[in-house]
A and B are shown apart, each in its own frame.
Chain A
Amino acid sequence: MGVVADVVAATCLLLGSLLCLTAGLGLVRFPDVLTRMHAGTKPQVLGILLIMVGGAIRLQGWSATWMLLLVAVFQTLTAPISAHMVSRVAYRRRHVRRDRMVVDELGVAPRSPGEARGDEPADAAPSRGSPRAREG
């Protein structure tokens, strides 16, 4: 019984840590804010949940378990909201790699020549039809 619980707890802790690591990797490897927010909300929330489960099995006493439960609940409630707010601001500031996008149905109008650039990432390839696009 003790061994089984230990193995389950260790598995949860390791898997959770791995998922949190991939969240960090995603922040480095993904190309723009929107995609990075995906990396920040999904594997990381699941990772935290797994670590909480592992901790709950491993730690003695219920009081720690309740605390971990609260952490898990607030993680699932708040992570999407912060991701939403950051992405929303990024999108409105045009901090978006449009060349990596299939379609944009919200359609912020393309920038006219004299308009300020917003926060368009400097490494973004010029999108088709944009004033910055050059032939050849």
Chain B
Amino acid sequence: MSGTVADAGAVGRLRHQLPLLLWLVAVWNLLWGTWSWANLISGVVVALVVTLVLPLPAVVGGVRVRPVAVLVFVGTFLVDLVRAGALVAWQTVRRRGISSSAILRVQLRTDSDLLLTIVTEAVTLVPGSMVIEIDRETRVIGLHVLSVDTDEDLDRQRRSVLLTEERVVRAFGTAEEIAALQRAPEPAGRPS
């Protein structure tokens, strides 16, 4: 895991910061709104200064991007986002307000900071679920879910989190991490 981090020095550090640099240059150019060489060069300068003055720890493991799986993830995510918005919006206006809520623990299977972050972000934006606690060591997230009444609802929510995780790992994870999805035992119902 630390093999890539070990080749320190300026070059190694720069290589790790490259995605961040590209993102900062992109943001700079989008903010100016027009394309020109001056914008590009000043963007590179600003990005370098920002990464040197305010260094961030490297993201260990990196990403592999699988275009089809990313499309599946983003598509499902957008559909979920619309459903989430509509559902919660409806609950705010209907007469009887919201139904009861619950706090669940879900055992995730991936062991990557980046993937866990993406999963958490996606879950928080998806219908009626919001992550309130993350235990990085044991990979357990605690989430608050809306509109649950029965045990089936709880199970449905758990499954949907695990499916989100699976889509994220298939989109951005390494082959190893995808294999880990299958290796992991079927999530039992309620952890004791």
| Residue B131, interface by CB 8 Å | yes
B24 to chain A, nearest CB (A): 12
A111 to chain B, nearest CB (A): 17
What's the count of A-B pairs with C-beta under 8 Å?
137
Interface positions of A from 36 to 81, Cβ below 8 Å from B: 37-39, 41-43, 45-47, 49, 61-64, 66-67, 69-70, 76-77, 79-81
Residues 73-104 of chain B, each 1 if its beta carbon lies under 8 Å from chain A, else 0: 00000000110110111011100011011111
User: In the docked arrangement, what's the CA distance between A46 and B125, Å?
Assistant: 10
Contact A38 B130 (CB under 8 A): yes
Contact B91 A26 (CB under 8 A): yes
Contact A67 B128 (CB under 8 A): no
Contact B104 A103 (CB under 8 A): yes
B153 to chain A, nearest CB (A): 8
Within 8 Å by CB of B144, from A29, A34, A61, A80, lies: A34
> Which residues from B are CB-within-8-Å of A132?
none
Q: How many residues of B contact A (CB 8 A)?
A: 43
Residues 1-45 of chain A, each 1 if its beta carbon lies under 8 Å from chain B, else 0: 000000000000000001100110110011100110111011101
Contact A84 B101 (CB under 8 A): no
Contact A42 B93 (CB under 8 A): no
> Which residues from B are CB-within-8-Å of A104?
102-103
Closest to B144 in A: A34
Contact A35 B133 (CB under 8 A): no
| Residue B171, interface by CB 8 Å | no
Q: State the majority secondary structure of interface residues on A.
A: helix
A51 to chain B, nearest CB (A): 13
Contact A91 B132 (CB under 8 A): yes
| Residue B111, interface by CB 8 Å | no
Counting chain B CB atoms within 10 Å of each CB, the highest count among A25, A26, A37, A102 belongs to A102
Contact A102 B85 (CB under 8 A): no
> Which residues from B are CB-within-8-Å of A25?
92-93
Chain A residues proximal to chain B, CB less than 8 Å: 18-19, 22-23, 25-26, 29-31, 34-35, 37-39, 41-43, 45-47, 49, 61-64, 66-67, 69-70, 76-77, 79-81, 83-84, 87-88, 91, 100-106
A-B CB contact pairs (8 Å), 18 listed: A23-B89, A25-B92, A31-B97, A35-B98, A42-B84, A42-B88, A42-B125, A43-B88, A45-B81, A66-B33, A80-B124, A80-B130, A84-B132, A87-B132, A101-B102, A101-B103, A102-B148, A104-B102
